[in-house]
């Protein structure tokens, strides 16, 4: 049995499986068909592949971390600068955005902290 990933009919990747995995996949498919759950099984495979493919991407193309998203949003709010959509989609773009504005963000927060301290807030 050959399993292949096909991307927009332009290129394909054979998925290497040992005999045990091939057998187990065949058994799972038969079970899903017998229980009329083959659509649910296909959706489960799709989700698992998508999650696994995310991990195969170069780090800069992966999703930004939750911490990066929060920090980038804090920067945008504090400095009143726009947050590019790519900074919410790609870890590398989030890193670049944070790096670009981090010094100004910290300085702004420090000014606010000093001002609040000076006025007893």
pLDDT digits (tens, 9 = 90+) for 80-113: 999 999 999 999 999 999 999 999 999 999 998 8
Q: What is the pLDDT of residue 1?
A: 62
C-alpha pair distances (Å), 98 with each of 46, 86, 104, 112: 33, 12, 10, 20
Angle, helices 19-34/38-56, rounded to nearest 10 degrees = 140
Q: Give CA–CA dist 3/13, Å, rounded.
A: 9
User: Residue 120: its pLDDT value, please?
Assistant: 63
- Is the dihedral angle over the CA atoms 40, 46, 49, 50 positive or is it negative? negative
The 10 Å Cβ neighbour count of residue 77 is 11
Q: Using 50, 70 and 90 to split pLDDT, how confident is the model at 33? A: confident
pLDDT band at residue 39 under the 50/70/90 scheme: confident
The SS3 call for residue 12 is strand
pLDDT over 70, % of the chain: 97
CA distances from 40 to 22, 50, 74 (A): 19, 15, 39
Round to whole Å and give the CA distance between 52 and 19.
21
pLDDT at residue 121 tops 70: no
């Amino acid at each position: 049995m050959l399993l292949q990933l096909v991307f927009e009919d332009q290129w394909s990747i054979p998925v290497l499986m040992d005999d045990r995995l091939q057998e187990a996949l065949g058994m799972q498919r038969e079970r899903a068909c017998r229980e009329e759950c083959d659509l649910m099984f296909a959706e489960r495979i799709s989700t698992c592949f998508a999650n696994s493919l995310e991990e195969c991407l170069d780090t800069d193309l992966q999703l930004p971390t939750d911490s990066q998203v929060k920090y980038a949003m804090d920067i945008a709010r504090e400095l009143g600068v726009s947050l590019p959509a790519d900074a919410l989609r790609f870890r590398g773009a989030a890193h670049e955005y944070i790096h670009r504005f981090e010094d100004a963000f910290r300085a702004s927060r420090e000014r606010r902290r000093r001002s609040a301290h000076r006025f007893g807030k």
